[in-house]
Amino acid sequence: MCGGGTGGHIFPMLSIADEIKKQNNKSEILFVGSKDRMEMKIVPKYNYPIKGLWISGIKRSSFLLNVIFIGVPFILKNISLPFKILHSLIKSLFILIQYRPDIVVGFGGYSSGPFLLVASLLGYKTAIQEQNSFPGYTNRILSKKVNVIFVAFENLEKYFKNNQVFNLGNPIRSSIQLNNKSGYNHFGLERNKKTILVVGGSLGAKSINESILTNLSLIRESSFQLIWQTGSTYYNVIQSKKLESTNIKILPFIDRMDLAYSVADVIISRAGAIAISELCVVGKPLILVPSPNVVDDHQTKNAQDVLTKNACLVVNDYKAKDILLKEVINLLNDNNKLMLISSNLKELAKPNASKNIVNELYNLL
């Protein structure tokens, strides 16, 4: 398994690894990530070994600076990149010679590039799992060299010509048990009130937090209740304002997301591919606020793909502060729309993605 850099790459890797172990507990699995990236800490917690490559992405300067200084900032920021690539290619070679894997699967991220490239050149069976509705740069480059590609959105075949492409969905947590009774007790909420769940990622989402903070009076004056995951970056500032009440629960991070999902009537989320895949399985009405701070603007593309199926509402990041909470309350007051979005979202769910992907990997051997 190679890839990482973000949870969107790491957790699909772990899901596939767990499914492989489930089907054959004698299987040996090695992860390859980037040194100093989050996978080096997360993967060992799941009892899998991991090797780190000295690799990073291209650091882009602004267009204006490149024009003024004729590309000097760009060159200075990336002066070590050729050495990192060479070092990673050589280390990938040694890892492959040492472990001689039956198959190598790349999930995107910096480490995925050199390792998959060397593996394919050496003739190993290789595969890519692309999480997003628009493929990442590394996966686009490597797509012609691998044996099979797994995708989670429709119409990605046009980016991966001359390949076997399987739309099997994104690997997510093996089971999501929704228990309303336990959920209401866990968060101290009332069963007869509709609940808004806000999740902006583990670090938090500035625009979503600002929207909730600015318009919190709309919640206080309503019959609704709120579970608000602020993210670790924003929690202390928000908590210092002492905004919690019987119908407003503020947390830096929700460790029992299954219980939060179970009580939610509407969920506000960023539009990461793995988050969307999980939320399709959950099937609760969804409002997506795509982050503008991602490569290739893939969250907007992810959100638009779901929107075309009438399976969510989408609020642009720059509009969130002014209209997000109003959209939520309007949706909560429209039971027909709530049921329509929920029904359409469930149609997109692929809860057996991990199992189906692993079955295809075995077929490749």
Confidence (pLDDT) at 283: 95
Is a pLDDT exceeding 60 seen at residue 61?
A: no
Percent of the chain with pLDDT over 90: 66
Is a pLDDT exceeding 60 seen at residue 331?
A: yes
Residue 323 to residue 327: CA distance in whole angstroms? 6
Residue 322 to residue 28: CA distance in whole angstroms? 51
Confidence (pLDDT) at 260: 93
Is a pLDDT exceeding 60 seen at residue 70?
A: no
Is a pLDDT exceeding 80 seen at residue 277?
A: yes
Closest Cα to residue 199, out of 251, 132, 160?
A: 251
In this prediction, residue 329 has a pLDDT band, given cuts at 50, 70 and 90, of very high
Work out the average pLDDT over 232-256.
88
Is a pLDDT exceeding 70 seen at residue 199?
A: yes
CB atoms within 10 A of CB 185: 13
CATH architecture label of 180-347: 3-Layer(aba) Sandwich (3.40)
In this prediction, residue 246 has a pLDDT band, given cuts at 50, 70 and 90, of confident
Asked if 94 contacts 72 with a C-beta cutoff of 8 angstroms, the reply is: no
Residue 337 to residue 128: CA distance in whole angstroms? 37
For residue 2, the 8-state DSSP code is B
Residue 171 to residue 175: CA distance in whole angstroms? 11
Fold of the 7-170+351-364 domain: Rossmann fold (3.40.50)
Residue 181 to residue 175: CA distance in whole angstroms? 18
Instruction: Indicate where the chain has its CATH 3.40.50.2000 domain(s).
Output: 7-170+351-364, 180-347
Q: Which residue has the tokens 């997109």?
A: 348
Work out the average pLDDT over 326-337.
96
Asked if 321 contacts 210 with a C-beta cutoff of 8 angstroms, the reply is: yes
Is a pLDDT exceeding 70 seen at residue 177?
A: no
Confidence (pLDDT) at 57: 65
Work out the average pLDDT over 209-218.
91
Residue 82 to residue 100: CA distance in whole angstroms? 26
Least confident of 62-66, 83-87, 301-305: 62-66
Residue 276 to residue 309: CA distance in whole angstroms? 13
